[in-house]
Structure 1
């Protein structure tokens, strides 16, 4: 069977997703990733340069898929908040990965800075009032916080015996959308 480098790279990224989301950057082991991907450990270094490079590549791929699942709509942030909330519920490991990155790395990457900066600029441009980029960034950060809060608090609600987690999740989603609309309205006034 001929060697397929694209397939090997893809398997490594998938295995890295599982390993890094479960154990973080420090706890992940390239031996486990290579074994899970049915690849030689040296392939990780050949394709990605290092374990950190693999983490960065895997996170970029997953964040891109999140962006596809929840396209950014600066002119309708409540709809974006609902879509992002849904995408995070469908892919909770993405949030876990970003939390690992925040815990294990002191600085944000240039790509993260650019992503947040461009979103703030788009929010400011789409605003009916003259929002500053700082106000637009505040709105964006609040939307992210609202969308991620459920994923981090839902296990505690389930632990204390939330009688209907599905209904509670739908109620929380509606609250995220309403709160986003209120934040946009308050900061845009």
Structure 2
């Protein structure tokens, strides 16, 4: 259960103000089909985070011992620093819009998640915990917790949220993961 809770919390917080959350807002205002957009986000996240968690689980097996622990702890600490850098996305027209809200959301979300903070977090969490499916479930729930309200509100603007504090809180959470990983034996 720790893997599920930690993964949900880490990704839900990390996703606030992330480029994929801004993308969800753009898609919601473009299509006005919240359920279809949410299903596209769910499908893209499941596929993307399953691949990331599989890679993370493989890394977790390969990087064992003190070296692996140090590398994982360092990665969590680097992730903490990265959380302090806000993401931006341009509100440009995509040729994918012509395929409708589900396909556009699925493809745009999947591509936006490649190398994104939450995908890297999924890799790290799967490497840390020996519970790949719990990590996939948790990170997917975290993505939905952060993005569904934005899609449903449609007119909610991320600039009304205390983004600096949200990014600092997210950085503190990943720093805590790093320190716990570093000092756990």
TM-score where L is the length of structure 2:
0.30
Larger Rg: 1
Greater relative contact order (Cα < 8 A, sep 6+): 2
